[in-house]
Structure 1
């Protein structure tokens, strides 16, 4: 009887024993993550672990990364160190807002700058495999699967170099006018300057905590960086030394915005900036002879009078009646076509600084990937739609919609070339047609072919070589590939393995601002 009671007692005690306590996520972070990801989750050797930087990381993928680590990086697996509940707690915590809110000051930016190769320390001529290639037919390829960048020789269709990048490069890389340097921006704020001639990262700086994209001035002297967090525009010299920070506030100073994009408007010698949360577009001139700005008076209290803001490196504001979030520019950069989050389109004349008309655009147009060409003597612009299965074509003379081209599903990228009669569009927002590229005749505006190399695998983002003879498209899978396709026959020529290649950028097309690619 005593033995039975003892056994029952043990069963009761086992049943009543509390589950092992789960350590608070902040303590787990301090113990296991801080050394790589930094105090305040701001990043260090590893990327920032802030919701603003992890917005594209699904929760299940965050859990898997903590548990299993990440191949080809220094991220170890914690599956044998942490319990399942602790991993879940960490995944929840890193995707929740940081408190106190993170800050990144001018002093922080300056202190972050790295310069492994100062100006003059590398040869001023193309070296190695780069010297054998046409420098203007090189491609820069961003591979998101394992955070690397590849350099391709466009004539030989070969990879000549591959190197690790910062975590999650965001926005297209931007080139200097001579094609020697390219600048990359990562999602957590790092801007890297890469010397293509010597295949070296020569300078880096952390411009913010969550960065959208960069732009390089047409004279190669300035680099502008648009930041979500903190909401500002950072302007650097070509060697990534900070020149100026422009806060994303309105004129009254009672509202502020994240900066969603920055573009170089070469004919205007200025940067154009989009604001995520304010109904404004900014133009920041990098021309020292720019006229003073008269819409943002600064009061000189000593003299008792108002003075105009200098036009050089200061925002000239165009007030709008709604927030615009995505842009296409005409070739001369006089007009910008913008779309609201609700999908409404407007045309803004940057000279008169006001909206001049509205556009009939269905769904949610992705104007950032819009391209233009001549059709029947008229220049038109075409845009994909992120929610509707169609491409919209608009006459740039009278701004009327001349066609809506049905597609297999909502698309993201649209590309062409001056020497090609065709435009290529994906349906990567479609759950059933993301594996197919469609070819549109630019004169008849009809789909004339479909290319589907790997059923079920995302196939998107076309970039032509400098001559328009062939194009490269991406199988956007972890074990993906770069497919070289003949621009006339649409047949595959060659493929190279690549780890989720999300973007390819031809130096000539980007530097010359080809009408067939985004700017």
Structure 2
């Protein structure tokens, strides 16, 4: 009887903020106005606008493990902590002059930021944004990802060097993994945290690091790609964190080409290329399917194409709107949300029929980030 009474009393108590549902929420970066649009994925609706985040022209963000807080990395060097339940900025620090992204540790206690100016990686306490570590570098840092065990990995554009930082102890331990090549422009971690891939802009090739077996020498692949033809001007740098991993393959953007490249994820052997509409920027795998979706650099950036990873053929071409900058899938792949910056809209498509379901007004939207990212490494 006492237990039943206690349970009855508990049901009358107001739920704490942390118990409120966040699983169907997301944030859309409004790059021109320094604001975020909080959206409800289930209702396909905007809930509110959160302002005062500075320069978001190349912004990204990550989430705390409980999905309540977003950590936003602004181009102006600002690191901002946003509360999705209270719908407001709760902390902000100008930690550098120009930053390009960040990551949160696997235990959710540390937030790391990679900087262009003055370079290097800075690490902060996720609760307070108090500084924890400052790791300088001899140039712009790129490709920052979280690794298991309170570790991070990153590369340096100017020197080509790749580093791993271990922040599990009283003092950080930073280890060089060697030189990847000339001008690494981005990097990505596979979903199992096994392989760290570093793309090179200053030379042909991609460098692969085996993080499960650090003693294994890194391997370079795609070194012969593109040697038989002339590259086009690169209008927008591809984003490796939008590479697709599907059907035992890496689906990679061809820098300076209108192609998607396919590489065997185990052997790194070339599996061919798919001619596409323009220069790929993001290539993103549709969850629970064999398909990848691709968007493109200006001036051909009004189009999205869908490719079947089994035969490498384009199966659909969509024109959602002007200046498509980003795509984000519902966690189980039923929908894809697409930002059309110059139309001031986010478009929502059914991934099975590929028909538009809804649209949401937004101010020059770019990145779309659902809270499901809180549970995926490398983001």
Query: Relative to total residues, which structure has the larger strand share, 1 or 2?
Result: 2
Quote the residue 1:58 is aligned against. none
- Return the match for 1:271 from 152, 165, 180: 152
After TM superposition, the score normalised by the length of structure 2 is 0.86
Pairwise CA RMSD:
2.2
- Shift, 1:160, TM fit: 0.7
Question: What is the CA–CA distance in structure 2 between the aligned matches of 1:397 and 1:442, rounded to whole Å?
Answer: 16
3-state SS of 1:368 partner: helix
Confirm or deny that 1:346 pairs with 2:213.
Answer: no
Q: Unpaired runs of 5+ in structure 1?
A: 1-122, 249-255, 289-309
After TM superposition, the score normalised by the length of structure 1 is 0.64
In the superposition, relative to structure 1, how do residues 331 and 403 fare at CA in structure 2: closer, same or farther (>3 Å)?
Answer: same
Quote the residue 1:223 is aligned against. 111
Alignment of 1:38-77 (within 5 A): none
Quote the residue 1:315 is aligned against. 174
- Return the match for 1:428 from 276, 297, 301: 297
- Return the match for 2:339 from 471, 474, 477: 474
- Return the match for 1:337 from 187, 191, 197: 197
In terms of mean alpha carbon deviation, does 354-363 or 171-180 score higher? 354-363
- Shift, 1:511, TM fit: 2.1
Question: Taking CA–CA contacts closer than 8 Å with sequence separation of 6 or more, which of the two structures ends up with the larger relative contact order?
Answer: 2
Question: What is the CA–CA distance in structure 2 between the aligned matches of 1:124 and 1:214, rounded to whole Å?
Answer: 29
Q: Does the 8 Å contact 1:268/1:333 carry over to 2? A: no
In the superposition, relative to structure 1, how do residues 408 and 443 fare at CA in structure 2: closer, same or farther (>3 Å)?
Answer: same
Confirm or deny that 1:202 pairs with 2:93.
Answer: no
In terms of mean alpha carbon deviation, does 359-368 or 156-165 score higher? 359-368
In the superposition, relative to structure 1, how do residues 223 and 321 fare at CA in structure 2: closer, same or farther (>3 Å)?
Answer: closer
Q: Does the 8 Å contact 1:148/1:162 carry over to 2? A: yes
3-state SS of 2:36 partner: strand
Quote the residue 2:132 is aligned against. 243
Question: What is the CA–CA distance in structure 1 between the aligned matches of 2:100 and 2:152, rounded to whole Å?
Answer: 15
Quote the residue 2:162 is aligned against. 281
Of structures 1 and 2, the larger Rg is shown by: 1
Q: Does the 8 Å contact 1:126/1:198 carry over to 2? A: no
Quote the residue 1:260 is aligned against. 142
Question: What is the CA–CA distance in structure 1 between the aligned matches of 2:180 and 2:346, rounded to whole Å?
Answer: 43
Question: What is the CA–CA distance in structure 1 between the aligned matches of 2:310 and 2:249, rounded to whole Å?
Answer: 11
- Shift, 1:328, TM fit: 2.3
Query: Relative to total residues, which structure has the larger helix share, 1 or 2?
Result: 1
Alignment of 1:144-163 (within 5 A): 144-163=31-50
Length, aligned pairs only: 349
Q: Unpaired runs of 5+ in structure 2?
A: 1-14
Q: Does the 8 Å contact 1:366/1:385 carry over to 2? A: no
Q: Does the 8 Å contact 1:273/1:283 carry over to 2? A: yes
Confirm or deny that 1:125 pairs with 2:9.
Answer: no
Question: What is the CA–CA distance in structure 2 between the aligned matches of 1:386 and 1:146, rounded to whole Å?
Answer: 30
Question: What is the CA–CA distance in structure 1 between the aligned matches of 2:164 and 2:59, rounded to whole Å?
Answer: 20
3-state SS of 2:240 partner: strand
Question: What is the CA–CA distance in structure 2 between the aligned matches of 1:199 and 1:408, rounded to whole Å?
Answer: 39
1:164-223 superposed Cα distances (whole Å, 9 cap, x missing partner):
142222342011111111101111111001111211211111111111112111111111
Quote the residue 1:175 is aligned against. 63
Question: What is the CA–CA distance in structure 2 between the aligned matches of 1:148 and 1:436, rounded to whole Å?
Answer: 25
Q: Does the 8 Å contact 1:176/1:218 carry over to 2? A: no
Question: What is the CA–CA distance in structure 1 between the aligned matches of 2:371 and 2:74, rounded to whole Å?
Answer: 20
- Return the match for 2:79 from 191, 201, 211: 191
Q: Does the 8 Å contact 1:380/1:394 carry over to 2? A: yes
3-state SS of 1:412 partner: strand
- Return the match for 2:282 from 391, 399, 413: 413
